[in-house]
Amino acid sequence: MGFFHLFLLSLFTLLSFSSSVSVGGEEGAKFCPKNSCQLVLNFYKESCPQAEEIIRTQVKLLYKQHKNTAFSWLRNIFHDCAVQSCDASLLLDSTRRSVSEKEMDRSFGMRNFKYIETIKEAVERECPGVVSCADILVLSARDAIVEIGGPFIPLKTGRRDGRKSRAPLLEQYLPDHNESILSVLDKFSAIGIDTPGVVALLGSHSVGRTHCTKLVHRLYPEVDPNFNPDHVPHMLKKCPDPVPNPKAVQYVRNDRGTPMKLDNNYYRNILDDKGLLQVDHDLAHDRRTRPIVKQMAKNQNYFFREFARALQILSENNPLTGDKGEIRKRCNVANKRRV
């Protein structure tokens, strides 16, 4: 080998070495935040070519039977990915050693977890042990968004499943229903989502429901004067008890106008002081977010564009890749350790 070839070879080694360093290391953080470069579109193209189709079919079937499964898949992506990593830790049941994220107050009202297993079982029948629950969680959200009238948002795959509940961290990472907008913006900005992105993601509250337990503090002992008075009788009718039985299924639909559609009606509602949660109300009144709320109320395409961008970032938050984590056999339990 001549000198020149050797020179080229070492140059090449140097380049590939430095680029591989920048993938995982601190240095590359701005190019490849927290492992996200390991994710690709259609990761299972060779290992399980039917995976995405199977998931889409199941999401559609389940949606036909229970429309609210779509709301659950959308909420899942927030509750899993915003807590340190999109690793399906959310889906793990409690064990003797740890409490499930699903049991925590931040997860109040989350539902349909058994149907994630239905999707996983359908995928396992075709490709056992190949497709992670973390990817199923993300792809089911992507497909659910389409079912409820939202945009198709290409989302990458290649995540692996975590082995541990992150329940002790939930309060630190997931904002509460009455948290200040400043603190909400801080929490999202820590995972790379900017203010328009946050405003767009909260547009998810255009579908689904809010239980009375999360509302009564705005109704009793006095009705919050910030509520639109036209909206109050409906809420009082749905939530007649100042201290609702937490087990009772008493709730109000988030968007009375188009409760089953992901659309920008949410923004018109909150500008109209019909937002149910304190954060929904505040989003329309905080000086940082109000101008964006107004734009999204007028322009559904702008809402969808920002929503897609933010959901992509959320879905790529610090995944487990390579030899980290595992591919769970069932989504609600970590695999038994081989000895």
Ligand X SMILES: *[C@@H]1O[C@H](CO)[C@@H](O)[C@H](O)[C@H]1NC(C)=O
Of 215, 197, 231, 216, nearest to 308 by C-alpha is 197
> In sequence order, which residues have a C-beta less than 8 Å from that of residue 17 and are 6 or more positions away?
none
Give me the sign of the Cα torsion angle 81, 85, 86, 91.
negative
Least distance to ligand X, CB of residue 10, Å: 59
Please state whether 192 falls in left (phi above 0), alpha (psi between -120 and 50) or beta: left
> Does 214 participate in binding ligand HEM (rule CB under 6 A)?
yes
**234 has catalytic annotation:** no
The alpha carbon of residue 3 and the mean position of all alpha carbons in its chain are separated, in whole angstroms, by 54
By CB under 6 A, the residues from 174 to 193 that bind ligand X are 176, 178
Q: Which of 85/327 has CB closer to ligand HEM? A: 85
Q: Which of 36/254 has CB closer to ligand HEM? A: 254
Q: Which stretch binds ligand HEM (CB under 6 A): 16-24, 107-115, 149-157, 165-173?
A: 107-115
Residue 199, SS3 per DSSP: helix
By CB under 6 A, the residues from 57 to 76 that bind ligand HEM are 68, 71-72, 74-75
The H or E element spanning position 251 is strand 251-253
> Does 207 participate in binding ligand HEM (rule CB under 6 A)?
yes
Q: Which of 5, 66, 79, 285 is catalytic?
A: 79
Q: Which residues are annotated as a binding site?
A: 80, 83, 87, 89, 101, 175, 205, 255, 258, 263
Closest residue to ligand X, judged by C-beta, is 178
Q: How many CB atoms lie within 10 A of CB 123?
A: 24
Q: Which residues are annotated as a binding site for substrate?
A: 175
Residue 192, SS3 per DSSP: coil
CA–CA gap between residue 33 and residue 318 (Å, rounded): 7
Which residues contribute to the site for ligand X (CB under 6 A)? 176, 178
**Contact positions vs ligand HEM (CB under 6 A):** 68, 71-72, 74-75, 77-78, 108-109, 111, 175-177, 184, 201-202, 204-205, 207-211, 214, 277, 279
